[in-house]
Structure 1
């Protein structure tokens, strides 16, 4: 079937020669073969073309989107092709005829009926009638009809565009029972306008008021005219003109009229010529004409009466409005007036505010005002024509919002708390409170005073911690001192109306922190440490004492301490150990102790801040004294020799000195000496000095023999500590009698026990060359240790010296004392021979002095001497606890004798 349809479409088009019939709802078309010519009358088509002649009969096209054409020469068509053509209307809807449009001039003066256009009716009209109706399907009543013979749409009488400008028709071909065989065909008939209407003014006489001061060119009157011809055409194109002005003074062109708008305004010449003090009227004759600028056309005239009035457009005084005004709104506040006519008022506010103006120029405020939101407004009022054009410059006036006390003071927010160092001086400014009041500046409503609420003064305290200036809000320190670490909440009341009772107030709060300063020196918890006893052999590094210190400051940096030994340790025996940031220090031993050197120590330790101290310096508690008592470690005594030997002639008399047993360190301790297993009783030893003497004559001893005894030394304080050594005595033959020789110097005699006499030694040389050389002489004992132990030299003058006994007791006998003399780079030795004799107690006549230089004995300057008998010992204090005589001193440390005479002090 599709192939057959395609063939038909490609074969040609089916001519619209068929006639339609209705068979049981199926519309069947019959093709008409052949043609005939239909003569047609003259018509007025939309294009004003001559009537169209057709060589074929008009036929209705196949009602389908598929149009077929069959050549007229064909007389036979296959039956299936006819069946296909008849079935197509069932598958496709009928195509709607195109709309016809035709134009008819109004007021047509020719013959009627006037043929308008030929309708596209079928060439072979089926049996039915042509129906002409309106676009709603209602049969048309009017000057239109269809010529059934020619198929033309005709009009039977003249049309008036002003009555109806357009007609919408439709044409159908229907059966008697109303079945539509063809159509509907829409037709629109436009009635073409002709200039048959005369313009008309809306008023015959126009009256207008013109206010002095109206700007030139601003219309104050708009003329209105109408024309019934078609809008937008030249027939209705109206223009206005001023034909005459009465009076013509002071200028004949006082006014200008816009031709198109009909807007009447004061001309620039009229604006400059118009006497502002003159009030009068003008009469204008105006014309309106159609056809635009063309010379032809219809026209009409009217009269305009213009009254010149005095201007009332004057500025207003400032308007004062109270804020929060409790009145009905809108509330009138002022009025403006434009004395001219045709006025419309316009109001603007800077900044925008709740203001309005009505048609009479009354100004209103539409709501309550808030001075704090906006204290002043600038209002501008315009007088305008109906087109919004300004007659004159706007009036400007101010609206001032008066204040009322409706805002409490507001304290400005603060960030962190305020820090004040402790011990700040009274009067130091802490902060400046600043409260703001949104009410009018300079008015009582914004006059703020301040009142301090907290902290309240303490009971019994004189003064307050803070002082407040009620006017400026300045907070200063009072007389009550504040402690570091305090957090204080300062509450201040800010009151407006200068603090009046009805004033509004707000609470201002300030957080204040009292910061610490380094005003406290560290102190030891105990300034005097109990004595610490340490044995002298304790190892270095031993902890002596731990000292604790405190610091009353709060800031950790201010509590940092450092320690030092301030006194009592010149030798550097002690040291300090502490950790950074620690509050205690350890006193430790750095060197070995020595009881004999220093039996006790008083170590003064000082503590200081690492940071600089503010205020007064450290007090006495910044030092601590540690007393260290050195405990003597008693070692067994040690003698200076492991064994002793002495050689003596067997003729040695009793009391002869053999040797002295000495400790290795004679200054350390006091020893008690004794002899053990002295079977013969030949020897004796002094208990204190250790001098060994013959106790009796050595009867029975043989030359060449040896005699051995044991010497024992015991500590005087600790007898359990002792040392011993063997003393071997070798016996010798007695020496031969010595030859008699001259001594270098005459023999001197001294007494034992020691008396207060001395031997004067002269240093003057017998050599005249040396004696003549000026300068002092110096004296010194010979290098023999025994001589230096037993004797002393004391200067007398530049050329002489005293020779005295150093020991309180010596064995009576003769002694040779070597003395070294130095003078002017020359040195020589004198040998002084002294004879020591036993002195009777309480006698001072035992001293016999024989000398070449001095013939008379000389008494030493000091005559008071504590005399001890043989065997009685003497130390720094005697056994009877008597001290040295006046003018005397120990000959040397540990010595058991006193020195007297010049220079002993």
Structure 2
């Protein structure tokens, strides 16, 4: 918006918003009187002013601002500003509208030829300070071709108004005691010129004071605010009791401090009145006062005029002051919350300035018995040692009564409610001082561990019937003292028997002790062997808080040195004992009987091992079992678990032999038996050891041979005799040295059908006919002989005749390091050791078996 002062405007002189370029200047046209218009407030006659070739685009031109001095005394019309009309020609009419008071008599018009805004008469700012106009170009049908263009016309103020007071004569009361410089009256004046300008900037002055005594400057007037106050001289004069009235002639002038300006005067009549701002007596108010509130309690009065009262309470309380100076309490008071209040009341002018010092009012709250005694919170139990003497102070009650201290309302006395004295008891366990609240022990005894709850009634007003009361509680615990000595539960222990070979550390006996005290620290015990153990053979083992002690053996016993021990064990309290010392129950006696011990037999080894070939014959000596001490008592030996029955032990000598042939034993295997040795006199004393036999491979056996024997013939049909196959007569024990031989018929089925071969012992077999009849001739019977892993086949030649032949025959196997021939031995009737069975006959050779013959021979022998 662009404002253009009227002094710079003339025909053809205009300023517009910089967003729009200026139109071409148009020469001023003669002024024509305005005529009526059908649009807006007023239009100029001849509004069809130009023809435009097109309709203009819609736009919002920037607002124009024009300032016009009021009371303009020049020629009219006054060209104010050129409107930024469009340059293109078009038929239309300019329409002027605005907020002037009367549309028909509005002071503005638009020159349709030049486009200037015109002022047609003088303006008065006090009548209207500004005009908001709007100009549009419209077609006949009312369409807006251009605009609206806003124009703000401001009327510039001139000092054409005289200031004046609200009253010609003011009557004012001035109280003695008013402080100097504090305004007691405020003048009011007005000026119709524009506010905030020098034209309306007012100044106040005192032109005259009557009378002028005692000083012509009794009063002072603040020039800009018009605040009337006493001067320091005037205050001093009033303090001296001066009460005459004063009249002041005052002036108000505009244009501020400039010499020029309009002015007017008025009169102030000042009456001096007596100071009524006097001190107040204290006010006593009962707490919990039951009256309607607010309740009037006092009155203050400031005798001067224009007074406002202000109240403050220290501490803040329910108080208020009304406009007429009456003081009120607005609610009930509680003395226990606040016993006194200090109220301060100020007399102030309308600006809140104090005329003088405040008045003080002391409010005292009167006590009522509205608070019962308050017991202290029940704390942890109070500990009292047992056996404490009567009169020992347990606790001292200190109740609090919030009513006024020193008054009857807070005078508290005490009454013991519980515990009640026990029936038959002399006196009570506790006693109470009714005045001090001290609780002491009475003559009745208390027991350790006892918990007591003491109840005390606290009553105010000295215990009067109308007094308020509370019940206080004190928890008391009777603590234990070490007044009981520990004692054994059994003072005489049954005799304990121990063998003399008992190991050190062996538990002999366990003793139990008890202590009647309750405190764990007082139940800790020490034990000691008081007598009967000078050599330190025994010892005690215990935990201080366990209540039992273990009597253990520390050294080896000897029946010969001491067949019995009588031990005296005592128990003591670890803590210092209060009262009588230990009694007889603190001693216990333990008798230990020593049993003689004969040591069990002991062998010279814990285990034994021996090796034996699997071909070892029966009765072979293996080893001798001996005791570790040759001088020890005689022993008896036995084998416990010889399941095969291969071995035996001589009962007293301890010699171990083979009991029979080790049939079934395999080389490389082990066989373990348990040896047991008993004391010959006391069989219960025994010991044992293991005997492990390692089986070895048998030495190689010599090939069997057939010893020569006299010829014998078998009879057919079969008779009751046969042939014995036997060993050599020169060395009959040779087979037993190398182990047994096994005999079997050859694998030929015919041979196995026709013949039968039966083992007699480890070196002989008995050959007989298997059929009832065989062909009479010499038969060759193959016999397979085996020893351990070796195997041979011999040919036994047996002649067969008819019934006339003699009976019997034998075959034996004989070996030696230099023998390698096979012989046939034929005999009859003496299968086991007969003298005739050892006659020898030379015979053909021995030939080995091939694998198929070996398999057949094994089958046949089975």
Asked if 1:278 corresponds to 2:242, the answer is yes
Question: Which position in structure 2 is the counterpart of 1:419?
Answer: 383
Shift of 1:597: 9.2
Rounded to whole Å, the distance in 2 between the matches of 1:598 and 1:185 is 145
1:392-437 superposed Cα distances (whole Å, 9 cap, x missing partner): 1112222222222222222233443322222222222222222222
Asked if 1:510 corresponds to 2:470, the answer is no
Give 2:580's match in structure 1, choosing from 616, 621, 626: 616
Question: Which position in structure 1 is the counterpart of 2:465?
Answer: 501
Question: Which position in structure 2 is the counterpart of 1:189?
Answer: 153
Shift of 1:603: 4.3
Rounded to whole Å, the distance in 2 between the matches of 1:100 and 1:481 is 113
Asked if 1:201 corresponds to 2:165, the answer is yes
For the Cα contact (< 8 Å) 1:255–1:265, is it kept in 2? Answer: yes
Rounded to whole Å, the distance in 2 between the matches of 1:274 and 1:509 is 71
For the Cα contact (< 8 Å) 1:135–1:170, is it kept in 2? Answer: no
TM-score, normalization by structure 2: 0.60
1:825-853 superposed Cα distances (whole Å, 9 cap, x missing partner): xxxxxxxxxxxxxxxxxxxxxxxxxxxxx
TM-score, normalization by structure 1: 0.58
Question: Which position in structure 1 is the counterpart of 2:121?
Answer: 157
Rounded to whole Å, the distance in 2 between the matches of 1:109 and 1:492 is 106
The 1:94/1:624 distance shift into structure 2, 3 A limit, reads: same
Higher relative contact order, structure no. (Cα contacts within 8 Å, ≥ 6 residues apart): 2
Give 1:519's match in structure 2, choosing from 450, 460, 483: 483
For the Cα contact (< 8 Å) 1:59–1:122, is it kept in 2? Answer: no
Shift of 1:217: 0.4
For the Cα contact (< 8 Å) 1:290–1:299, is it kept in 2? Answer: yes
Structure 2: gaps of 5 or more residues:
24-52, 599-862
Question: Which position in structure 1 is the counterpart of 2:177?
Answer: 213
Shift of 1:545: 5.0
SS at match of 2:521: helix
For the Cα contact (< 8 Å) 2:557–2:594, is it kept in 1? Answer: no
Asked if 1:113 corresponds to 2:73, the answer is no
Asked if 1:359 corresponds to 2:359, the answer is no
Shift of 1:303: 0.7
Rounded to whole Å, the distance in 2 between the matches of 1:60 and 1:536 is 137
Give 2:92's match in structure 1, choosing from 108, 120, 128: 128
Asked if 1:235 corresponds to 2:199, the answer is yes
Shift of 1:140: 6.0
The 1:612/1:87 distance shift into structure 2, 3 A limit, reads: farther
Rounded to whole Å, the distance in 1 between the matches of 2:304 and 2:142 is 70
Question: Which position in structure 2 is the counterpart of 1:407?
Answer: 371
SS at match of 1:411: coil
1:571-623 superposed Cα distances (whole Å, 9 cap, x missing partner): 65654343432323344566788999999876443210111112222223222
The 1:220/1:604 distance shift into structure 2, 3 A limit, reads: same
Rounded to whole Å, the distance in 1 between the matches of 2:390 and 2:459 is 26
RMSD: 3.6
Rounded to whole Å, the distance in 1 between the matches of 2:123 and 2:113 is 24
The 1:604/1:182 distance shift into structure 2, 3 A limit, reads: same
For the Cα contact (< 8 Å) 2:59–2:146, is it kept in 1? Answer: no
Alignment of 1:883-898 (within 5 A): none
For the Cα contact (< 8 Å) 1:134–1:140, is it kept in 2? Answer: no
Question: Which position in structure 1 is the counterpart of 2:452?
Answer: 488
The 1:50/1:133 distance shift into structure 2, 3 A limit, reads: closer
Rounded to whole Å, the distance in 1 between the matches of 2:478 and 2:17 is 114
Asked if 1:532 corresponds to 2:495, the answer is yes
Question: Which position in structure 1 is the counterpart of 2:416?
Answer: 452
Asked if 1:51 corresponds to 2:11, the answer is yes
For the Cα contact (< 8 Å) 2:313–2:344, is it kept in 1? Answer: yes
Structure 1: gaps of 5 or more residues:
1-43, 70-85, 636-905
Q: How many residues align?
A: 567
Rounded to whole Å, the distance in 2 between the matches of 1:137 and 1:381 is 55
Shift of 1:569: 5.0
1:153-192 superposed Cα distances (whole Å, 9 cap, x missing partner): 2222222111111111112222344332222221121111
Question: Which position in structure 1 is the counterpart of 2:345?
Answer: 381
Alignment of 1:470-485 (within 5 A): 470-485=434-449
Rounded to whole Å, the distance in 1 between the matches of 2:71 and 2:496 is 153
Alignment of 1:694-709 (within 5 A): none
1:358-413 superposed Cα distances (whole Å, 9 cap, x missing partner): 11111112222222222222211111000001101112222222222222222233
Shift of 1:309: 1.2
Rounded to whole Å, the distance in 1 between the matches of 2:494 and 2:386 is 40
The 1:629/1:146 distance shift into structure 2, 3 A limit, reads: closer
Give 1:103's match in structure 2, choosing from 58, 67, 71: 67
Rounded to whole Å, the distance in 2 between the matches of 1:59 and 1:310 is 70
The 1:47/1:495 distance shift into structure 2, 3 A limit, reads: farther
The 1:136/1:181 distance shift into structure 2, 3 A limit, reads: farther
Rounded to whole Å, the distance in 1 between the matches of 2:113 and 2:190 is 45
1:604-646 superposed Cα distances (whole Å, 9 cap, x missing partner): 43210111112222223222345x49799899xxxxxxxxxxx
